[in-house]
Amino acid sequence: MAKVASPKVQIYSRNPGNFGTENVLICHVSGFHPPEIKIDLLKNQGEIPGAKQTDLAFEENWHYHLTKHVSFTPNSGEKYVCRVTHVGKTTDYVWEADI
C-alpha cells in the first residue's frame, strides 16, 4: 500500500490582483498521492462556473499534480477560495488581492 502524501496548494492570479480588473484565478496542487482529488474554485462559498482543469500528471516519485483555473473579476468584499479534498480531508486556501 502506497503512503499518503498530502497536497501542496498554491492559489494565485495570473496578473496582479486588482479589484474590478478581469484576471485568471489559478489553483495549483502538487505532490499528492493517491491521485483521487477534488478541486473547487469558489466565490463567496459558491462554485465559480466555467473552471477548467488540466489532466492529472505524475512526477518521477509517483506523486501527482493538477491545476484548475477560471476567469474572474475580483471586487472588494468578495472571498475567493481553492477548496481541495484529498483522502477525505477538505482544506480551503484563500486568494488574497494585491491591494
67-89 tens-digit pLDDT: 999 999 999 999 999 999 999 99
Note down the domain range covering 18. 8-94
If DSSP codes are grouped into helix, strand and coil, which group holds residue 78? coil
DSSP 32-72: EBSS-EEEEEEETTEEPTT-EEPPPEE-TTS-EEEEEEEEE
Q: Give pLDDT, residue 1.
A: 52
The domain tally of the chain equals 1
Here the CATH number for the domain that contains residue 68 is 2.60.40.10
Q: Is residue 2 part of a domain?
A: no
DSSP 8-state code for residue 97? -
Per-residue pLDDT, averaged over 60-70, amounts to: 94
Task: Specify which residues 10 forms β-bridges with.
Answer: 28
Does 3 map to a domain? no
| Dist CA 97 CA 15 (whole Å) | 10
